[in-house]
Amino acid sequence: MTVRVAVAGAGAIGEIVARDIYPDLTTVALTAVVDPDLDRAARVAKHNGARAAAALVDVLDEIDAVDVRVPHHVHAEVALTAIEHGKHVLVEKPIATTVEDARRIVDAARAAGVVLAVAENYPHLRAVQDARSLLAENAIGRPLAVRSTRAYQLDGVWRRDWREGTGPAGGILLDQGTHQVSLIRQLAGPVVAVSAVGSHETLALTLQLESGITAQSLLTWQSPGTWDQTEATVFGETGRLDVVVDYEQHLGGCALWTPDRNEQRGAENYYASHASIVNDWATAIQEHRDPLVHGDEGLADLAAVLAAANSLEENGAFVEVSPSRRSA
């Protein structure tokens, strides 16, 4: 069964997946592109010969699933509308802007029996998967600490109005924090508590993990970034692992170093992970299974980020992440 999909949202990421991802996948057919700006929807829909519509309700009878690529603060509204009509949902990270909305989405999908996936890239990166395998092999001994960094300037196709604003979708913490929390959780396990200091555009997180490991993460929109960056390092008793992410070429991968071993695995581009995300979601629908990043995973990432937001308001005090929201 080919899954018939409507992309909801014809902004930057909606156009990227419609133009660069959907045409090459055999598991899905992009049937419609939905955006309140009908002209913008039409421009994006032409990449696939899909129908353009101004409202999701106009295409619900023609689709099996909805790929939600709207601004963060609208995720819950669009996802819940799709679920209420029995449609499978892929929602761009963060899953929502509040834990309550995220829980509503997860619970509604479970009650409706539809597949809910979160478009979180890092679990789909081969570099992260290779790092997890090497950690399982004890390649660097007992892990001691994790450090992650996301440093770049917000420009190009990415809209700055709601991202940089002070509204419910604003700030680098919500926009990029879920990425970094997901990356850290993939490498070192659930987050127990978070401390955050900094500003709307640059901040540092300290994360206490269930494993006993401490992680640190630096996020900034104020420094130009190279196309290939070491976004995470795991320090172990006998070596270290670097997760290198490349946004332009195909130089991303996992680098292992010990005094006796120096190895580079993988050669990937970050944006290829979008194909893995959509394909995994569609295959999960076809096979009646959970996707790689299901709703509870997205909820766990969001819960840690919102704990960090609370910490910012409390001058960097550690804020606990509820055990029921930590996921595995």
CATH code of the domain in which 248 resides? 3.30.360.10
137 and 110 share one domain:
no
Task: State residue 161's pLDDT score.
Answer: 61
Say which residue the tokens 């926009």 belong to. Answer: 175
Closest CA to 308 of 295, 298, 317: 317
Residue range(s) defining the domain that contains residue 59: 3-121+275-293
258 and 142 share one domain:
yes
Write out pLDDT tens, residues 35-90: 999 999 999 999 999 999 999 999 999 999 999 999 999 999 999 999 999 999 99
Share of the chain above pLDDT 70, in %: 94
157 and 306 share one domain:
yes
259 and 132 share one domain:
yes
127 and 71 share one domain:
no
86 and 136 share one domain:
no
Mean of pLDDT over the chain: 93
82 and 208 share one domain:
no
Count of CB atoms situated within 10 Å of the CB of 189:
19
Write out pLDDT tens, residues 148-183: 999 887 776 555 565 665 655 568 999 999 999 999
pLDDT band at 225 (very low <50, low <70, confident <90, very high): confident
20 and 147 share one domain:
no
User: Terminus-to-terminus CA distance in the chain, angstroms?
Assistant: 31
139 and 80 share one domain:
no
258 and 112 share one domain:
no
CB 151 within 8 A of CB 238: no
Q: How many residues does the chain have?
A: 328
If phi > 0 it is left, if psi is from -120 to 50 it is alpha, else beta; for residue 9 that is left
Count of CB atoms situated within 10 Å of the CB of 20:
14
210 and 232 share one domain:
yes
160 and 225 share one domain:
yes
In degrees and rounded to multiples of 5, residue 140 shows phi and psi of: -120, 20
Q: How far apart are CA 155 and CA 178, in angstroms?
A: 20
Write out pLDDT tens, residues 282-293: 999 999 999 999
Structural domains counted in the chain: 2
pTM metric for this prediction: 0.94
Task: State residue 224's pLDDT score.
Answer: 86
SS3 326: coil
